[in-house]
């Protein structure tokens, strides 16, 4: 097999924390040498993998693989290859077509001969969607910002981001409109304005959102509930803390506002009445599908779904809810599996994962050995300095060099550990959800159903009563597994007759 080495690192966001380009090149070339891999060329580029068609080196490599110049890729982690669904898809297709026979990393091995489609799907799913949420580096960054009293993300309405250095970045009241925040709060408290009335009030005052548009009702609801306006940082998953920016109102007034809002909760939290509202798009013009209830003279209620037609009449017809529901249930049926099937599939995937991760264990052992060796060197160096065998500058110089090596190794170690745990978490979630899908759809609340649909689909289109539903990875794979002729055979447990759909 012939290999291309591919290294990538961008200077954006969380990627800054990834292993440096020279380190990737060095590690992979060493890996290739010690495993006797034939390397045709090493590609290396400082580009982001989030947007497709931005990487010349990557494109050249793909073209050359299609021509047959090489049939395998060696990279540090699959996230180096792609972080967007389009290019991940290209790679997956090449594996399926056996143009690409192997993607090797020091911590994973995926090949067309033994690729477990689920593993691959989860892995690439990770790269494009979940890496941001799960990144320990991002989490750590946010925690540090909160600790320093800085607003941890883009400034909320009525504030601006300000400051040049890491330490003095924060938010300041937006001179253009900050005074309207308290005015709005006063109106809500004294006149008990609804969200629509708040919106109208802001329009009357000429207050616009950051993009220069009108505020949505949902944005106003969020603004009125956000405690950051009296200085409190509240983020899910983090401890609350007081920020160091200038508040726009007092805590007392904010609490009063909350009790006013609580007293009239219905207009602020309009209950979801239509289970599929907001989850579908028009198959003709791409706009959202909305829903409404029609009450007939007999008193019987009918729920209809249709395109909002804001861009003009696209010709899409009204559809009754039952017609949509039966089609969605059918699609859900095609991926739902029984608990036993899920457990068995999970076990098989784990076994596969373990077998393919022998490299990882080996890499980890090597890293630990190296780390031990370096810490012994540090001890020895200190002894030499204490007994005056070396000068102070020699001591500091050597100590610095060793510390850099230790830092690099620790970075490597956490990369290895992280990618593994990340994948495990995703697999866990995937299998657990797979057998719960049916339950959510028969017993769940409307909100649960909507959440689930959004989690498993790329999009759901409605065109003249017909639903087309694009599943996200790796859910699409589940359909194939369930319909594969030998799937039950493969998963048969001794003594029991396991059916995926039971
Ligand atoms: Zn339409």
* C-alpha 466 – ligand 1 centre gap (Å): 13
Tokens of 288: 């959202």
* C-alpha 322 – ligand 1 centre gap (Å): 20
* C-alpha 464 – ligand 1 centre gap (Å): 10
What pLDDT is stored for residue 91 in this prediction? Answer: 85
Per-residue pLDDT averaged across 180-194, rounded? 91
* C-alpha 320 – ligand 1 centre gap (Å): 16
Q: What is the dihedral of CA 406, 411, 414, 419, to 10 degrees?
A: -150
Q: 133 vs 81, which has greater pLDDT?
A: 81
* C-alpha 286 – ligand 1 centre gap (Å): 6
What pLDDT is stored for residue 356 in this prediction? Answer: 60
* C-alpha 91 – ligand 1 centre gap (Å): 34
Residue ranges in 271-338 assigned as alpha helix (H): 321-333
Q: 110 vs 468, which has greater pLDDT?
A: 468
d(CA 83, CA 106): 19
Domain ranges of the chain: 2-134, 142-268
**Which residues have CB atoms below 5 A from the ion given as ligand 1?**
282, 284-285, 307, 314, 316
- Quick one: pLDDT band at residue 501, thresholds 50, 70, 90? very low
* C-alpha 290 – ligand 1 centre gap (Å): 10
For residue 494, is pLDDT > 60? no
Structural contact between residues 127 and 83, judged by C-beta atoms closer than 8 angstroms = yes
Q: CA-CA distances (angstroms) from residue 355 to 103, 169, 351, 358?
A: 16, 47, 6, 6
d(CA 457, CA 433): 13
Write the CB contacts of 473 (distance below 8 Å, at least 6 apart in sequence). Answer: 85, 121, 122, 124, 125
Structural contact between residues 175 and 158, judged by C-beta atoms closer than 8 angstroms = no
Element (H, E) at 183: helix 179-191
Q: 414 vs 194, which has greater pLDDT?
A: 194
What pLDDT is stored for residue 498 in this prediction? Answer: 42
Which stretch of 48-57, 81-90, 113-122, 154-163 has the lowest confidence by average pLDDT? 113-122
SS3 content of the chain, % helix, strand, coil (to 5): 55, 15, 35
* C-alpha 459 – ligand 1 centre gap (Å): 15
* C-alpha 191 – ligand 1 centre gap (Å): 38
* C-alpha 273 – ligand 1 centre gap (Å): 22
* C-alpha 200 – ligand 1 centre gap (Å): 27
Which stretch of 395-404, 413-422, 431-440, 474-483 has the lowest confidence by average pLDDT? 413-422
- Quick one: pLDDT band at residue 446, thresholds 50, 70, 90? confident
Per-residue pLDDT averaged across 451-460, rounded? 85
pTM, 2 dp: 0.42
DSSP string, 186-237: HHHHHH---HHHHHHHHHHHT---TTSSPPPHHHHHHHHH-GGGGTEE--TT
What pLDDT is stored for residue 266 in this prediction? Answer: 42
Q: 380 vs 473, which has greater pLDDT?
A: 380
What pLDDT is stored for residue 187 in this prediction? Answer: 92
* C-alpha 100 – ligand 1 centre gap (Å): 40
* C-alpha 288 – ligand 1 centre gap (Å): 8
Q: 469 vs 17, which has greater pLDDT?
A: 469
* C-alpha 308 – ligand 1 centre gap (Å): 7
Tokens of 244: 């160091």
Q: Report the range out of 115-119, 253-257, 328-332, 449-453 with the highest average pLDDT.
A: 253-257
What pLDDT is stored for residue 283 in this prediction? Answer: 92
What pLDDT is stored for residue 208 in this prediction? Answer: 92
For residue 85, is pLDDT > 80? no
Q: For 236-279, how does the pLDDT look when each residue is reduced to its tens digit (9 = 90+)?
A: 767 788 999 999 999 999 999 988 887 754 443 344 478 888 88
Which stretch of 14-23, 50-59, 142-151 has the lowest confidence by average pLDDT? 14-23
For residue 136, is pLDDT > 80? no
Q: Facing residues of 102 across strands?
A: 72, 111
What pLDDT is stored for residue 108 in this prediction? Answer: 53
What pLDDT is stored for residue 138 in this prediction? Answer: 56
Tokens of 479: 């359909």
Which stretch of 39-48, 272-281, 481-490 has the lowest confidence by average pLDDT? 481-490
How far, rounded to the nearest angstrom, does the alpha carbon of residue 297 sit from its chain's CA centroid?
A: 48
* C-alpha 450 – ligand 1 centre gap (Å): 21
* C-alpha 106 – ligand 1 centre gap (Å): 49
**Residues in the chain, total:** 502
Tokens of 209: 């959102």
* C-alpha 336 – ligand 1 centre gap (Å): 30
Fold of 2-134: Rossmann fold (3.40.50)
* C-alpha 317 – ligand 1 centre gap (Å): 9
* C-alpha 281 – ligand 1 centre gap (Å): 8
* C-alpha 313 – ligand 1 centre gap (Å): 7
Which stretch of 20-24, 138-142, 409-413 has the lowest confidence by average pLDDT? 138-142
Percent of the chain with pLDDT over 70: 81
* C-alpha 307 – ligand 1 centre gap (Å): 5
Strands in 216-349 per DSSP E: 232-233, 241-242, 281-282, 289-295, 301-307, 319-320
Q: Report the range out of 66-70, 136-140, 431-435 with the highest average pLDDT.
A: 66-70
* C-alpha 371 – ligand 1 centre gap (Å): 61
Which stretch of 14-28, 124-138, 185-199, 322-336 has the lowest confidence by average pLDDT? 124-138
Give me the chain's average pLDDT, please.
Answer: 80
Closest CA to 125 of 74, 81, 88, 73: 88
* C-alpha 329 – ligand 1 centre gap (Å): 23
What pLDDT is stored for residue 302 in this prediction? Answer: 85
- Quick one: pLDDT band at residue 130, thresholds 50, 70, 90? very low
Per-residue pLDDT averaged across 343-369, rounded? 73
Per-residue pLDDT averaged across 145-162, rounded? 88
* C-alpha 312 – ligand 1 centre gap (Å): 8
Question: How many DSSP H helices and E strands does the chain contain?
Answer: 19, 15
What pLDDT is stored for residue 133 in this prediction? Answer: 35
What pLDDT is stored for residue 358 in this prediction? Answer: 67
Closest CA to 459 of 283, 308, 311, 314: 283
What pLDDT is stored for residue 122 in this prediction? Answer: 55
For residue 445, is pLDDT > 60? yes
CATH architecture of the region 142-268: Alpha-Beta Complex (3.90)
| Same fold flag, 2-134 and 142-268 | no
d(CA 243, CA 135): 24
């Amino acid at each position: 097999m012939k290999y291309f080495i591919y290294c990538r690192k961008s200077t954006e966001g969380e990627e800054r924390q990834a292993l440096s380009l020279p380190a990737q090149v060095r590690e992979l070339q060493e890996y290739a040498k010690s495993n006797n891999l034939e390397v045709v060329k090493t590609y290396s580029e400082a580009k982001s993998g989030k947007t497709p068609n931005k990487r010349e080196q990557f494109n050249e490599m793909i073209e050359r693989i299609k021509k047959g110049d090489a049939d395998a890729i060696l990279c540090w982690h699959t996230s180096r290859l792609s972080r967007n669904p389009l290019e991940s898809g290209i790679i997956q297709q090449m594996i399926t077509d056996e143009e690409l026979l192997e993607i090797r990393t020091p911590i994973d091995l995926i090949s067309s001969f033994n690729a477990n489609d689920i593993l691959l799907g989860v892995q690439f799913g990770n790269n494009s969607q979940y890496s941001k949420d799960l990144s320990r580096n991002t989490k750590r960054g946010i925690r540090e910002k909160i600790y320093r009293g800085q607003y941890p993300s883009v400034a909320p309405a009525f504030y601006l981001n300000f400051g040049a250095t890491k330490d003095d970045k924060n938010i300041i009241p937006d001179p253009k409109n900050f005074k309207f925040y308290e005015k709005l709060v006063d109106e809500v408290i004294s006149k008990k304005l609804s969200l629509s009335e708040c919106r109208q009030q802001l329009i009357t005052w000429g207050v616009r959102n950051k993009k220069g548009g009108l505020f949505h009702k949902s944005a106003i609801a969020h603004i009125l509930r956000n405690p950051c306006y009296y200085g409190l940082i509240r983020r899910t998953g983090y401890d609350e803390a007081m920020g160091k920016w200038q508040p726009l109102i007092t805590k007392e007034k904010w609490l009063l506002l909350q009790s006013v809002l609580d007293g009239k909760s219905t207009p602020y939290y309009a209950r979801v009445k239509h289970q599929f509202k907001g989850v579908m798009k028009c198959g003709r013009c791409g706009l959202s599908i909305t829903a409404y209830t029609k009450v007939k003279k007999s008193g019987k209620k009918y729920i209809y779904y249709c395109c909002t037609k804001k861009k003009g009449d696209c010709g899409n017809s009204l559809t009754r809810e039952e017609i949509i529901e039966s089609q969605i249930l059918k699609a859900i049926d095609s991926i739902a599996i029984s608990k036993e099937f899920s457990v068995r599939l999970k076990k098989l995937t784990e076994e596969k994962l373990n077998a393919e991760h022998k490299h990882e264990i080996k890499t980890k052992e090597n890293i630990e050995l190296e780390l031990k060796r370096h810490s012994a060197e540090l001890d020895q160096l200190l002894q030499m300095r204490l007994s005056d065998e070396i000068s102070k500058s020699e001591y500091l110089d050597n100590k610095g060099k060793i510390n850099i090596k230790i830092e690099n190794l620790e970075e490597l170690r956490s990369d290895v550990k992280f990618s593994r745990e990340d994948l495990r978490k995703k697999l866990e979630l995937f299998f657990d959800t797979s057998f719960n899908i049916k339950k959510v759809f028969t017993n769940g609340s409307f909100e649960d159903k909507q959440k689930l649909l959004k989690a498993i689909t790329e999009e759901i289109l409605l065109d003249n009563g017909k639903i087309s539903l694009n599943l996200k990875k790796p859910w699409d794979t589940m359909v194939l597994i369930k319909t594969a002729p030998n799937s039950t055979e493969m998963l048969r447990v001794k003594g029991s007759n396991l059916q995926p759909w039971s």
